């Protein structure tokens, strides 16, 4: 089955998804890789590309970051804004309804991050696109679904077109422009409905854009 990750898909996804579902997209805590990979960074400006329910954006804003959180789904953004109102960090958050396959920000950011976002374009091309929005000296953080044999569905079994490997991501990053800090593939476990353990196969890449331009 081929998935069309367009606005209609994501509106249906969020209308059907319950707040208690496992994963950081809903009402659960932010992705655990976020604190590990950004905890040592100095707060500045950040973009959450495909922010979903806002857990990661709110976590950053509560720690002093000024966050632009973009998502194609108005349903997701409404839930995120409601959650942010209770966090005390709303003044450092800006919610943007946008199709990230065509939208462009008006500035570059100290941090650009994405967690499991699947836009209406090839996955690796999406990562290339958002990498261009990182300011010199800034950080790119990609947390995605790891491509594993037999992946056929969405959620915790993502289709091949919505997943990648760390090698596939880093191979597209010019070493004269980027310093790769983290490139790994991990399996973590969430507790699903009825106490059932749900394994998540993740790919995590963090890179710093070098301050200098390409070597001549």
The pLDDT, as a whole number, for residue 75 is 85
The pLDDT, as a whole number, for residue 119 is 83
Q: Whole-model pTM?
A: 0.85
Task: Give the chain's domains with CATH numbers.
Answer: 7-14+43-134+144-209 (3.40.50.150)
Handedness of CA 46, 11, 200, 125 (dihedral sign): negative
Phi, psi at 180, each rounded to 5°: -80, 120
Residue 95 CB burial class (10 angstroms; 0-12, 13-18, ≥19): buried
Element (H, E) at 79: helix 74-85
| Intervals of the chain under pLDDT 70 | 1-3, 6-11, 13-15, 17-28, 148-159, 193, 213-216
Mean residue pLDDT of the chain comes to 85
Q: What is the pLDDT of residues 134-175, one digit of tens each?
A: 999 999 999 999 876 654 444 455 667 788 999 999 999 999
């Amino acid at each position: 089955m081929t998935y069309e990750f367009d606005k209609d898909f994501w509106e249906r996804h969020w209308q059907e998804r319950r707040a208690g579902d496992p994963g950081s997209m809903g009402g659960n805590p932010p992705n655990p890789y976020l604190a590990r990979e950004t905890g040592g960074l100095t707060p500045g400006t950040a973009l959450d590309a495909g922010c979903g329910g806002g857990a990661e954006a709110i976590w950053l804003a509560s720690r002093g970051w000024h966050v632009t959180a973009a998502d194609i789904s108005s349903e997701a953004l409404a839930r995120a804004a409601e959650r942010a109102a209770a966090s005390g960090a709303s003044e450092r958050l800006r919610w943007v309804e946008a199709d990230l396959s065509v939208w462009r920000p008006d500035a570059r950011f100290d941090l650009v991050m994405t967690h499991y976002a699947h836009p209406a374009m090839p996955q690796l091309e999406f990562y290339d696109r958002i990498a261009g929005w990182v300011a010199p000296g800034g950080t790119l953080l990609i947390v995605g679904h790891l491509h594993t044999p037999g992946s056929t569905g969405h959620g915790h079994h993502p289709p091949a077109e919505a997943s990648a490997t760390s090698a596939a991501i880093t191979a597209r990053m010019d070493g004269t422009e980027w310093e790769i800090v983290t490139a790994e593939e991990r399996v973590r476990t969430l507790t699903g409905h009825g106490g059932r353990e749900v394994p998540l196969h993740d790919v995590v890449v963090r890179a710093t854009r070098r301050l200098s331009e390409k070597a001549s």
